[in-house]
Amino acid sequence: MLPRTLLFGVALLLIAASCGEDEGAGTNEEMRTIRVTALDELTFDPSSIEVEVGATVRFVVSNASETEHEFVVGDEEMQEMAEEQAMQGEHGHVEAMASLSLAPGETKETTITFEQPGELLYGCHVTGHYDGGMVGTILVR
């Protein structure tokens, strides 16, 4: 009888442990990770991303280029403002949802929660890069 009781006790412990893990693990499992690479060709890979409204996304952004790049997330108006600031030698883009400056070979992370549907952009505002086509889209559904 002891083995059956022991087996039952172990089963209950496993069930209880897995229930406890679901709470903490659930939030981590729900966070999506998207890897973005800035390239020498003044492009991002991928060039477009789709996310769901309410999703929290961790972006892992790598600069595989031999030049500095940025990863600036925001709407079209914010991107235009960032481009104007960059032309004046200003960076940081406080109005952006996220703003990373990346040296060649560097990787950085940022996390964004997408609260409203629509289209956002991610761009690089190093002089000439955004105008050269270094911009991607995020479709929030």
Q: Is the peptide bond before 46 cis (omega within 30 degrees of 0)?
A: yes
CA dist 21 and 15 (Å) reads 10
Same domain, yes or no: 79 and 105: yes
The closest alpha carbon to 76, from 121, 129, 139, belongs to 121
Q: What is the mean pLDDT of residues 80-101?
A: 80
pLDDT at 89: 72
How far lies 4's CA from each of 9, 10, 15, 94, 119, in Å? 9, 10, 17, 63, 58
For the stretch 96-120, pLDDT in tens is: 789 999 999 999 999 999 999 999 9
Sheet with 118-123, edge to edge strand ranges: 48-51, 135-140, 118-123, 69-74, 98-102
Structural domain including 20 reads 1-30
**Nearest 5°: CA angle at 124, between 51 and 76?**
60
Q: How many CA atoms lie within 13 A of 48 on its CB side?
A: 4
pLDDT band at 132 (very low <50, low <70, confident <90, very high): very high
CA dist 114 and 129 (Å) reads 25
Same domain, yes or no: 11 and 50: no
CATH number reported for the structural domain that contains residue 66 in this entry: 2.60.40.420
Number of domains in the chain: 2
Q: What is the mean pLDDT of residues 49-60?
A: 98
Same domain, yes or no: 68 and 133: yes
Lowest mean pLDDT among 2-6, 15-19, 46-50: 15-19
pTM of the model: 0.76
